[in-house]
Structure 1
Amino acid sequence: MKHLVLGGVRSGKSAFAQEQVVSSGKPVSYVATSQVWDEDMAERVRLHKANRPSDWQIIEEPLVLAEVLSSLNSPEQAVIVECLTLWMTNLLCLEDEDRLEEEKRALLRAVEDFEGDLVLVSSEVGLGIMPMNALARRFGDEAGVMNQMLAKLTDRVTFVAAGLPLPLKS
């Protein structure tokens, strides 16, 4: 089962995604894509770590996500990736268009080929006002297109708002 979980900041998407991966009954690998650049992000990471079961395998990888998914590809494995929009931010900040395109294509192949249970967490960023700067607009465009492509490759898509899961595809 492949499941894309979308939502805004503090929507409850992480907790919902964790419930989904636990329900598989399989060993869980948690792939964290964030990078800590300031105290606020350090606190967010600390809170996420505190809310995860201690028996989960934790893999921190901000860029080569497809490579990690390929290494974990097994029908006996459950994987949660948090979060695809942070991963996209990391790639955009490299300012390397070839690398960005290569990593996006590789991720889509890795998701398509994945044989275990996979829960992908991504922010839905297109519900607010049009951003005022070019990088923020580019981020919204890239994240929106990536979410659409992943929605086609996954069996389930759930939007989480106010802690409430809203099935979009099942």
Structure 2
Amino acid sequence: MASTLVLGGARSGKSGYAQRAAEAAAEARGCTPIFIATGQAHDAEMAERIASHRSERAELWRTVEAPLELAAALSLLGPEDVAVVDCLTLWLSNSMLAETGHPERTLALPAAIAACRADLWLVSNEVGWGIVPDNPLGRRYRDEAGRLHQRIAEVADAVVLVVAGLPLTLKPAR
């Protein structure tokens, strides 16, 4: 099976790109696509975003919530599955803010992706192209996201950058 890292800025079209690709793969395979959600509704704005994303997906999607234990969720996927993880940067912030286990989770994720037997699209925000954050936590988050993207790109079969809704292949599938 294949894994694709889909990077882009906010509202770049990366989630839509990954979902369309997964839907096409699932239709060809005759299976239900799986949406692995990492977001958590800690406030009204995030609850609204989650509801909006849910309404954009067709009824045919099955949703799995994995705000922290993403590696474990990936280990449950089989070779017949097609899944989208949306998104790695939300997962990273959840992990960084959790009381324990952050280093272990970030080290385990690339191996879980490499071992995953499903067709997998991993969506993530490219946060390192903007203004340097004005606080230590923001700078640490930006740096950890960049390092995470490098580790995931290394194990992913393909990497696509989406800008203005247009995909640019950075690493073609092998």
User: For 1:158 and 1:102, how far apart are their aligned partners in 2?
Assistant: 27
Equivalent in the alignment of 1:20: 21
Q: TM-score, normalised by structure 1?
A: 0.94
Q: Does 1:37 align with 2:45?
A: no
1:20: Cα distance to partner? 1.2
Give CA-to-partner distance per residue, 1:46-95, whole Å, 9 cap, x none.
110001121211011210010011011x1111111000000000011125
Counterpart of 1:46 in structure 2 is: 51
Unaligned runs of 5+ in 1: none
Which residue is 2:126 aligned to? Answer: 124
Alignment of 1:152-167 (within 5 A): 152-167=154-169
**Residues 80 and 116 of structure 1: is their aligned pair in 2 closer, same or farther, counting only changes over 3 Å?**
same
Which residue in 1 is equivalent to 2:135? Answer: 133
Contact 1:29 1:59 in 2 (8 A): yes
Q: How does 1:88-99 map to 2 (within 5 A)?
A: 88-96=92-100, 99=101
> Aligned letter for 1:157?
V
Aligned to 1:108: 110
Amino acid at match of 1:31: I
What's the counterpart of residue 55 of structure 1? Answer: 60
> For 1:20-44, what per-residue CA distance to the aligned partner results, in whole angstroms no more than 9, with x for missing partners?
1112134311100001111211111
- 1:3 paired residue number: 4
TM-score (norm 2): 0.92
Instruction: Tell whether the 8 Å contact from 1:27 to 1:76 is kept in structure 2 after alignment.
Output: no
- CA distance in structure 2 between the aligned counterparts of 1:114 and 1:70, rounded to whole angstroms: 6
Name the SS for the 2:76 alignment partner. Answer: helix
Counterpart in the other structure of 1:81: 85
Question: What is the identity, as a one-letter code, of the residue corresponding to 2:24?
Answer: S
Shift of the alpha carbon at 1:161? 1.1
Identity %: 46
Aligned length: 167
CA distance in 2, matches of 1:41, 1:94: 18
Other-structure match for 1:65: 70
Maintained 8 Å contact 1:156/1:168:
yes
Name stretches of at least 5 consecutive residues in structure 2 with no aligned partner. Answer: none
CA RMSD of aligned residues (A): 1.1
User: Over residues 101-148 of structure 1, what are the superposed CA-to-partner deviations in whole Å (9 max), with x where a residue is unaligned?
Assistant: 111122111101011200000000000121110000010011110101
Query: Any idea what SS the aligned residue of 1:5 has?
Result: strand
